[in-house]
């Protein structure tokens, strides 16, 4: 039987792998519960809710304000192409509207419709209660 | 200006949302770094490495042992269809072999090839050093 030598470069390999697997498992369990509950009760996926929430936060006090797709992509951790497909679904459902940026014709901006704002408000308690159930210590 | 009333059902809504966003951001940053480094240095995606690692762990001491696709799906947090596509890629690259389960003709089992075992061993230090860089406190 060999005794592993202490390794200064990888001081706690098992601890790191355990921490990573725990993080992945928590993320997967929470995402799965959010997808299921938000879909069943409000017809929204987890990332769709997340985009509506960022739009509510980013445009508070100004219901005609817009966010650029690039800004949204960073905060919701989606690729630009996945986010564009998601925004197209939200637009088809009447929850957001897209427009070209006035100052940059290549950029696309998104704003909430009033239907999008009410759908977010309706789904918010479900989102919070799933987080309370899955993330509470 | 309204003062929010204390709410026993949602004791710390901001804390929950912050905890969830922090978890998502850490998961996304680590997954992105793993995908980039493992792909550049070893031609493997993060989930491909994860499947090879589960096979190494699950078949330790017995290089002909197999794992069922269903068991793998739970531990790597992929849908059965996403995992099947991933295993097909690994098989095409000569890193795993698939076989029907002897006791259940509907089930599919997977085992590592010796090339799969060496590719995992070669990529393991990269995986650990990315985790050390992204997860260390």
**Interface pTM, i.e. ipTM:** 0.84
Which tokens hold the place of A103? Answer: 């100052």
Residues of chain A contacting B132 with CB distance shorter than 8 Å: 10, 16
Segment A91-110 mean pLDDT: 82
Which residues in B lie closer than 8 A to residue A16 (C-beta atoms)?
Answer: 128, 131-132, 135-136
Mean pLDDT (whole number) for B116-133: 96
For chain B, what is the mean pLDDT?
Answer: 86
Residue B111 CA neighbour count, 13 Å, CB half = 12
Interface test with A, best of B9, B79, B125, B128 (most A CBs within 10 A): B128
Residues of A in contact with B128 (CB under 8 A): 10, 13, 16-17
The answer to whether the beta carbons of residues B102 and B2 sit under 8 Å apart is no
Tell how far CA A132 is from the center of its chain. Answer: 17
Contacts of B24 in chain A (CB under 8 A): 27, 77
| Residue B75, both tokens | 């531990």
CATH 1.20.1250.20 fits B14-135, yes or no: no
Angle separating helix axes A69-76 and A46-58, nearest 10 degrees: 120
Nearest to B132 among A16, A23, A135 (CB): A16
Confidence of residue B61 (pLDDT cuts 50, 70, 90): low
Contact (CB, 8 A) for A58 and A67: yes
Measure B88 CA to nearest chain A CA, in Å: 23
Q: For the segment B9-44, what is each residue's pLDDT rounded down to a tens digit?
A: 445 888 999 999 999 999 999 999 999 999 999 999
Q: In the predicted model, is pLDDT for residue A106 greater than 90? A: no
Decide if pLDDT at A10 tops 70.
Answer: no
- Name the region of B61 (left: φ>0; alpha: ψ -120 to 50; beta: rest): left
Residues of B in contact with A28 (CB under 8 A): 77
| pTM of the entire predicted model | 0.82
Q: What percent of chain B has pLDDT over 70?
A: 82
- pLDDT category at A68 given cuts 50, 70, 90 is confident
Mutate to test the interface with A, among B1, B27, B31 (most CBs of A within 10 A): B27
- For residue A137, the chain B residue with the least C-alpha distance is B16
Chain A residues with a Cβ under 8 Å from any Cβ in chain B: 9-10, 13, 16-17, 19-20, 23-28, 30, 77, 125, 128-129, 131-132, 135-136
Tell if the CB–CB gap between B27 and A25 is shorter than 8 Å: no
Contact A29, A134 (CB under 8 A): yes
User: Is the pLDDT confidence value at B8 over 70?
Assistant: no
In angstroms, the CA A61 to CA B1 distance is 13
What average pLDDT does range B48-76 have in this prediction? 83
């Amino acid at each position: 039987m060999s005794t592993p030598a202490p390794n200064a470069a990888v001081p706690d390999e098992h601890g790191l792998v355990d921490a990573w697997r725990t993080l992945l498992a928590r993320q997967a369990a929470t995402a799965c519960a959010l997808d299921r509950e938000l879909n069943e009760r409000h017809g929204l996926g987890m990332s769709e809710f997340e985009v509506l929430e960022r739009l509510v936060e980013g445009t508070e006090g100004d219901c005609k304000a817009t966010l650029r797709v690039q800004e949204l992509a960073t905060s919701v951790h989606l690729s630009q192409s996945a986010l564009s497909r998601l925004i197209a679904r939200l637009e088809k459902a009447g929850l957001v509207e897209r427009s070209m940026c006035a100052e940059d014709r290549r950029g696309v901006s998104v704003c909430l419709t009033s239907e999008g704002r009410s759908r977010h408000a309706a789904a918010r308690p479900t989102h919070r209660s799933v987080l309370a159930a899955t993330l509470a210590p």
